[in-house]
Structure 1
């Protein structure tokens, strides 16, 4: 989870995809409002909030953000080949936005309430195939998770969030999985949609 404890007012970064707790996000930063966001979070050691875009676009006019999002801590910086700033952020706890406002420079700010962490629940026996599927996906698509402690594959929340991240879900489906508060229900719903992704 996010290492820092922000106040109720945080900068928001509306995106066209969903950041899950424990996930990693690569961002290319070029708009002044987001350069200011990076400076603020780096200086204060505080996270920003990532929310799925409910209406609008990532670039240009401020977008309307979904009400539930994920805190993101900046963990790395790079200078990209195009000369722009790149950052890597890691997803922490979830939050609900209670009020938003837009600064003069277009940066979206939100008043938030923090969601409690999910209870630690082992993957149920009837869903035991899902960690195996996840391990295969990580081997093919997400090498940064290959060294994850083995015990995480027994954690229903971690398995569910990683499957949500790696399966080709539509953004609104990923948002639905983010908003679920029962980790076993999340796994059951993911199991039920897996046949969509099986090759003929």
Structure 2
């Protein structure tokens, strides 16, 4: 078990997935500065209930998902309005054993790392997903994230696609916690339903 800082988000992060974050709260600015200084990352946990932003009272409380993804900062820049934008990339999954919010309002958790899945070649029946990813990464909003589209195994391809597709976060979380073959089949079913 290891203790890591947590960044609760209303979004699910996948291993190899990238997403931009606008940082403006002092607690998260401190977290990001510490991570940049020490070349470390933080855990991203899907916020099932509660607010990403610090509020005086949350009568319903905060509920975090059990499984999250450790993220590293791969790029950052400041905006004219003073906000900090970081691009994070998922590395590996973890299971939260215990999480708590400290006095400075930052979350931390004791986590157990989830072993990565062995590499499985992309089956012929899902080769169209690789073509879809190649098209997605050319979109201007996605191109700026500089996502690796040369993915040749089921786990990586299914994680990156699940990150990029416009699907509900509860569905994304279900895909995150699935094995890679189940995930890629789920994505194919979702795409068929979208058509």
TM-score of the aligned structures, taking structure 2 as reference length: 0.88
Structure 1 contact 123–184 (Cα < 8 Å) conserved: no
Distance 1:30 1:177, change over 3 A: same
- The one-character-per-residue Cα deviations of 1:44-92 (angstroms, maximum 9, x if unpaired) are 2221000110110111248432111111111222111211222222111
Regions of 4+ moved over 4 Å: 144-147
List aligned pairs for 1:48-59, cutoff 5 A.
Answer: 48-59=42-53
Q: Show the counterpart of 1:168.
A: 166
Name the CA distance, whole Å, in 2 between partners of 1:89 and 1:130: 23
How many residue pairs match? The answer is 189
Name the CA distance, whole Å, in 2 between partners of 1:86 and 1:134: 24
1:18 to partner: Cα distance: 0.9
Give the SS at the match of 1:88: strand
Q: Does 1:194 align with 2:191?
A: yes
Q: Show the counterpart of 1:92.
A: 91
Distance 1:22 1:85, change over 3 A: same
List aligned pairs for 1:34-53, cutoff 5 A.
Answer: 34-53=28-47
Name the CA distance, whole Å, in 1 between partners of 2:131 and 2:75: 30
Mark the runs of 5 or more structure 2 residues left unpaired by the alignment. 56-60
Mark the runs of 5 or more structure 1 residues left unpaired by the alignment. 1-6
Name the CA distance, whole Å, in 2 between partners of 1:189 and 1:9: 32
Give the SS at the match of 1:20: coil
Q: Show the counterpart of 1:114.
A: 113
Name the CA distance, whole Å, in 1 between partners of 2:123 and 2:8: 34
TM-score of the aligned structures, taking structure 1 as reference length: 0.86
List aligned pairs for 1:1-200, cutoff 5 A.
Answer: 8-61=2-55, 63-140=62-139, 142-144=142-144, 148=148, 150=150, 152=151, 154-180=152-178, 182-198=179-195
Name the CA distance, whole Å, in 1 between partners of 2:145 and 2:64: 28
- The one-character-per-residue Cα deviations of 1:120-156 (angstroms, maximum 9, x if unpaired) are 0011122222212222222235225777364x1x211
Name the CA distance, whole Å, in 2 between partners of 1:94 and 1:9: 14
Superposed CA RMSD: 1.9
Name the CA distance, whole Å, in 2 between partners of 1:94 and 1:142: 23
